[in-house]
């Protein structure tokens, strides 16, 4: 039974009773949250401002604003960079939806760029061909916790007078040539959502070293006002603004988690490196790639199925097989998932070009000229969307190399069986469970 897959009755490789849930909570979190609970100001007070200062010190930024989400922080980046109605913004074809819907939030138009097949990030060599006369900025998504080739991207941006916005929502602590994500462009957004390597349930952080970008973002963040809530406000809306602020209890929780993040990061690094080393040579498995200039934070450790070696070429068959493999990995005790099944140009909100009704914002005169979301333009993104499986949270602190070793055994166990795996039998088991 040792080699029998758990989904077919074998013993799971990972002892899930030993895997600590994410995020780990201790007395530091409890003390900070209770302190916030008893503060006289629950909206924006000492913990909000302390968090912004501490995050700047930790990450190396001059300005920060604590927000209610990473999506809000991305919207703030666009406004701070002066992006407006009908402008074009480049973004990767494969990412979370809000990396591009944030562009729509301020009536601008996303222009998608295909990914590099090894890094899964926007291919820098395809950027210049995507630039239009209306292009104002590039959103560089540091996806899965890996930084893109920022020297190359910044050089292109400088040549074409474009702003560079980092979507660092998954990239806390990730580095490019020794510099942290969030310091590599004009401004950046981080997420503190439940799934992130640094989390407080829900929240985000806008950061920049540019005072003018900061002031523009701050207006959007709080009702279009020019003063922050802790300052002398005249309650006058000077621009179109949202309410993207966050509260004291959440800020205190984030401060507690930030104080422990270096331990979290180092643990992830050790576990990720262990998997890279010990999974090398596993049949039908394509491992993630870490360029020499990058330091991954392993937010997602992505496994890819080598369909060429398996002889599976039809897209629907690949997706079905991949979903069966993911189910097998979960039964072995790994937190494995298909992180994003659709590339962004295939999502209805973009494909229909009708975000707000009446075809808006694409119906802005001249804004849709040259905008083409045909899926054949993004072959690498499409292929990746069918072959990847993300291992999340299993590798996170305080889970150490003992859990990483079990994860290796579970992954090997499943991938060693791929040449005989029948996905229909996997789905029969899953269906029988549902009907019990």
Query: Which two structure tokens, joined as six digits, stand for 248?
Result: 């004291």
Q: Strand 179-180 vs strand 294-295: parallel, antiparallel, or unpaired?
A: unpaired
**In angstroms, rounded to a whole number, what is the distance separating the alpha carbons of residues 110 and 360?**
13
Task: List all residues 6 or more positions away from 432 whose beta carbon is below 8 Å from its beta carbon.
Answer: none
Q: Find the helix packing angle between 248-259 and 27-37, rounded to 10°.
A: 160
**In angstroms, rounded to a whole number, what is the distance separating the alpha carbons of residues 301 and 303?**
7
Q: Specify the 3-state DSSP secondary structure of 398.
A: coil
**Residue 265, exposed/middle/buried by CB under 10 A (0-12, 13-18, 19+)?**
buried
**In angstroms, rounded to a whole number, what is the distance separating the alpha carbons of residues 312 and 305?**
10
Neighbouring CB atoms inside 10 A of 422's CB total 10
**In angstroms, rounded to a whole number, what is the distance separating the alpha carbons of residues 168 and 179?**
13
Nearest to 222 by CA among 247, 203, 240: 240
CA dihedral of residues 381, 382, 388, 391 (deg, nearest 10): 60
Question: How would you label 363-376 residue by residue, b for 16+ Cβ within 10 Å and e otherwise?
Answer: ebeebeeebebeee
Q: Specify the 3-state DSSP secondary structure of 356.
A: coil
> Alpha carbon 322 to chain centroid distance?
21
Residue 177 annotated as catalytic: no
Tracing tokens 């209770």 back to the chain, one arrives at 34
Let me know the angle formed at the C-alpha of 162 by 157 and 164, rounded to the nearest 5 degrees: 75
The single residue of 126, 180, 196, 412 carrying the catalytic annotation is: 196
DSSP string spanning 255-309? Answer: HHHHHTHHHHHHHHHHHHHHHHHHSTT-TTEE-----TTEE---SSEEEEE-HHH
**In angstroms, rounded to a whole number, what is the distance separating the alpha carbons of residues 289 and 278?**
14
Strand-pair partners of 302: 390
**In angstroms, rounded to a whole number, what is the distance separating the alpha carbons of residues 8 and 4?**
7
Show which residues are catalytic: 196
């Amino acid at each position: 039974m040792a080699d029998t897959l758990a989904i077919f009755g074998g013993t799971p490789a990972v002892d899930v009773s030993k895997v600590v849930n994410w995020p780990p909570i201790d007395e530091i979190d409890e003390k900070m949250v209770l302190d916030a609970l008893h503060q006289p100001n629950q909206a924006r007070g000492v913990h909000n401002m302390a968090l912004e200062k501490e995050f700047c010190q930790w990450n190396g930024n001059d300005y920060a604003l604590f927000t209610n989400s990473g999506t809000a922080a991305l919207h703030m980046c666009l406004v701070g960079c002066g992006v407006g109605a009908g402008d074009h913004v480049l973004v990767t074809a494969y990412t979370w939806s809000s990396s591009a819907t944030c562009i729509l939030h301020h009536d601008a138009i996303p222009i998608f760029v295909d990914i590099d097949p090894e890094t899964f990030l926007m291919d820098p060599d395809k950027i210049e061909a995507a630039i239009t006369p209306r292009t104002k900025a590039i959103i560089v998504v540091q996806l899965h916790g890996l930084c893109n080739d920022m020297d190359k991207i910044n050089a292109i941006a400088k040549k074409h007078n474009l702003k560079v916005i980092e979507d660092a929502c998954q990239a806390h602590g990730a580095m490019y040539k020794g510099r942290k994500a969030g310091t590599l462009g004009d401004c950046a957004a981080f997420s503190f959502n439940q799934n992130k390597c640094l989390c407080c349930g829900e929240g985000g952080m806008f950061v920049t070293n540019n005072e003018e970008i900061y002031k523009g973002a701050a207006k959007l963040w709080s009702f279009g006002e020019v003063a922050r809530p802790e300052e002398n406000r005249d309650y006058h809306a000077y621009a179109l603004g949202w309410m993207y602020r966050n509260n004291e209890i959440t800020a205190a929780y984030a401060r507690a988690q930030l104080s422990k993040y270096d331990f979290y990061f180092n643990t992830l690094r050790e576990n990720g490196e262990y998997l890279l080393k010990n999974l090398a040579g596993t049949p039908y498995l394509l491992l993630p790639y870490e360029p020499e200039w990058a330091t991954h934070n392993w937010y997602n450790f992505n496994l890819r199925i080598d369909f060429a070696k398996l002889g599976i070429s039809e897209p629907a068959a690949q997706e079905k097989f991949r979903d069966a493999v993911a189910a097998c990995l979960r039964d072995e005790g790994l937190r494995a998932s298909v992180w994003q099944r659709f590339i962004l140009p295939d999502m209805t909100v973009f494909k229909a070009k009708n975000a707000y009704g009446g075809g808006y914002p694409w119906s802005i005169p001249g804004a849709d000229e040259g905008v083409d979301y045909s899926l054949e333009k993004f072959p690498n993104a499409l292929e990746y969307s069918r072959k990847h499986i993300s291992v999340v949270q299993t590798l996170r602190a305080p889970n150490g190399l003992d859990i990483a070793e079990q994860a290796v055994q579970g992954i090997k166990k499943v991938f060693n069986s791929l040449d005989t795996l029948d996905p229909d039998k996997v789905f029969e088991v899953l269906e029988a469970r549902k009907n019990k």
